[in-house]
Amino acid sequence: MCRLNMKRTHDLLEIKTGGLVVWRAGSIIILYRGADYKYPYFFVNKNKQNDASEGESTSSSLDSEEGDVQESYSIGTDEVGSDDQTKMTQTPLIKGVGSRTRVRFQLPGEAQLAEEADQLLHGLGPRFTDWYGYDPLPVDADLLPAVVPGYRKPFRLLPFGVQSTLTNDEMTTLRRLGRPLPCHFALGRNRKHQGLAAAILKLWEKCEIAKIAVKRGVQNTNSELMAEELKWLTGGTLLTRDKEYIVLYRGKDFLPATVSSAIEQRRNRGVDVLERKKLSRSSDFQENKSKEIGSSSAAEPSGMRDQKLELAIEQRKKKSREAAIKKTTSKLSQALESKERAEKLLEELDKEEIKQQLEVDKEGITEEERYMLRKVGLKMRPFLLLGRRGVFDGTVENMHLHWKYRELVKILSGETNIDELHAAARTLEAESGGILVAVERVRRGHAIIVYRGKNYKRPATLRPQTLLNKREALHRSIEAQRRESLKLQVLKLGKNVEELKLKLAKSEDTISNAEEDQNIQLEMKSLSAEYGRPDVDLEGNESNSSDQDDVQVSSSHSCWELLEIANGRVGQVG
């Protein structure tokens, strides 16, 4: 038996014998045969027939060259006091284990299961003749082609409302279903599995789970590399993987080849139709746009049109920035309110906590004693943890419990702020009545070493009433963390509001400048129409001029003359 893989031996024994493993430890297995067990093996004699004492008769014939056993067994029983005889159906015999002349009765349903498993593997490839397990023989994956021309990953489509991933219960159920399944393939190489992937896709059309056995005796086999490549080529889900087997599930979005090809063809047709519609719509839109541009260009000059577009764009930007400022200010106000609330809660908790002052006439220790106590405390294995709650009544109680058996206590803290760390050490010294030896940096953070004193007496109440309890200390730490995060959020939101206000001011300036330019151009256009002048564009040149001489004459009557006329009119009015 295989001592290295007792789980596989366990499964093989139960499958081959039909018994039940009741106990297993190390390399020892206890197998129970069952209450209704009947000995299924017997030796076959070519010349003689064995007559059983209970009226059983057997007839067998064995072909020694091929080793195939074709026998039939019939049992006749005579009941006392009756003439009726019950004839049992003939049960075929198959080859047993251990000897060529040993046979056994075929289990009920065993032939049907073997036939169904053999039909699943029919047409997938050549069989692995050196198979060491039970029937049917798996397909030899090493004889399948390494590269399949034109191979691609299968098309998958997930039904509506179905999750693509498997839940824990579904995964457990599929693993249990795949455990007793026979192996479909036997694999010995680590790479180039396109032929095996194509065979697995064909198998998945009939069976949801594909089981692959890793060949024994093949050097440098790596089931992890095999599983990764097969998962990438097939798109399935890996259920289990070990040194012996690889089990793959086809997935909830798996489609057979015929269905996937039909869906792909239908989708391609739909995509072609949509592209044609988009092209026709884009061509119509371009034609309409060109018509609109031609009509608008005939109605007004290009400079005016550009200014109107810029003005509309700036107005839109202005509205969006105003909305962003409003939203950011509301967030800022909420953050400020939350910050004030956290600060009030912290103030209330600080008022409840009354810290004691250090004793003035407290006993001291010399520098030599401090040095030795520090050295001993750093080497101590027992320690206390100072977590996110900080110093509370339970910390001081644990210090007194440590001092019951040892003179020093080592407290480890992950605090990075040195000032807060020293403040916690002084609080521990004052509340416990001990002597602070050192605050040292260690591998896990910082260590606070406190000496109980030479004249230490254990107090009546280990938990001081001046400190917060465990729940209040946790509440304090949460509120402090919230206050720090709100500080950063307030700074960020204030910065965003200032930036948005600057952008809004710039956009207002650009809008006002654009409106002024537009008003000037409209006034110049009205003056030119009143005095019979030709239309003047933004640059002061005549529009619709064809001859070079006319352009020179019109340039002399430029915007400056119109401005002089406008000034004269203003003077007359004055």
Q: What is the pLDDT of residues 278-336, one digit of tens each?
A: 777 766 666 666 665 555 444 455 556 666 677 777 777 777 777 877 777 877 777 77
What is the spatial distance between Cα 532 and Cα 314, in angstroms, rounded to a whole number?
35
pLDDT score at 570: 38
Considering only CA atoms, which of 334, 332, 328 is closest in space to residue 490? 332
- Average pLDDT over every residue of 488-517: 78
Residue 446 CB neighbour total at 10 angstroms: 20
412-465 per-position pLDDT tens digit: 998 888 998 999 999 999 888 899 999 999 988 899 999 998 888 898 888 888
Distances from the Cα of 159 to the Cαs of 153, 221, 291, in angstroms? 19, 38, 47
Distances from the Cα of 421 to the Cαs of 364, 366, 398, 445, 446, in angstroms? 22, 24, 19, 11, 8
Higher pLDDT, 256 or 537: 256
Give the confidence band of 86 by pLDDT, cuts at 50, 70, 90: very low
Higher pLDDT, 341 or 89: 341
pLDDT score at 211: 93
pLDDT score at 507: 75
- Average pLDDT over every residue of 58-78: 37
What spatial distance separates the first Cα and last Cα of the chain, rounded to whole Å? Answer: 122
Please state which CATH class domain 114-255 belongs to: alpha beta
Instruction: Please answer whether residues 377 and 438 qualify as being in contact, where contact means their C-beta atoms are separated by less than 8 angstroms.
Output: yes
User: At 128, which helix (H) or strand (E)?
Assistant: none
Give the confidence band of 17 by pLDDT, cuts at 50, 70, 90: confident
pLDDT score at 485: 82
- What does the block give as tokens for 217? 């005796």
pTM over 0.75: no
Instruction: Please answer whether residues 453 and 435 qualify as being in contact, where contact means their C-beta atoms are separated by less than 8 angstroms.
Output: yes
Burial class (CB in 10 A: 0-12, 13-18, 19+), 531: exposed
What is the spatial distance between Cα 91 and Cα 57, in angstroms, rounded to a whole number?
12
pLDDT score at 61: 37
pLDDT score at 152: 85
DSSP code at position 455: T
Q: What single-letter amino acid sits at 2? A: C
pLDDT score at 98: 52
Three-class SS state of 69: strand
pLDDT score at 395: 92
Strands 139-140 vs 185-187: parallel, antiparallel or unpaired: parallel
Considering only CA atoms, which of 498, 568, 488 is closest in space to residue 531? 568
Q: What is the 3-state secondary structure (H, E, C) of 516-562?
A: HHHHHHHHHHHHHHHCCCCCECCCCCECCCCCHHHHHHHHHCCHHHH
Higher pLDDT, 282 or 123: 123
- The least confident of 129-138, 313-322, 378-387, 400-409 is 313-322
In this predicted structure, the answer to whether residue 364 has a pLDDT above a threshold of 70 is yes
In this predicted structure, the answer to whether residue 357 has a pLDDT above a threshold of 70 is no
pLDDT score at 4: 64
* DSSP letter string, 13-38: HHHHH--EEEEEETTEEEEE--TT--
In this predicted structure, the answer to whether residue 538 has a pLDDT above a threshold of 70 is no
Burial class (CB in 10 A: 0-12, 13-18, 19+), 310: middle
- Write down the H helix ranges in 18-132: 110-120
What is the dihedral angle through the alpha carbons of 50, 55, 58, 59, rounded to the nearest 10 degrees?
90
Average pLDDT, the chain: 76
pLDDT score at 196: 93
What percent of the chain lies above the pLDDT cut of 70? 71
Length, in residues, of the chain: 574
Q: What single-letter amino acid sits at 23? A: W
pLDDT score at 228: 92
Domain 354-467 listed as CATH 2.40.50.140? no
In this predicted structure, the answer to whether residue 133 has a pLDDT above a threshold of 70 is yes
What is the spatial distance between Cα 40 and Cα 134, in angstroms, rounded to a whole number?
18
Higher pLDDT, 197 or 320: 197
pLDDT score at 402: 92
- What is the CA 257 to chain-centroid distance, rounded? 29
In this predicted structure, the answer to whether residue 222 has a pLDDT above a threshold of 80 is yes
Residues carrying CATH 3.30.110.60, the chain = 114-255, 354-467
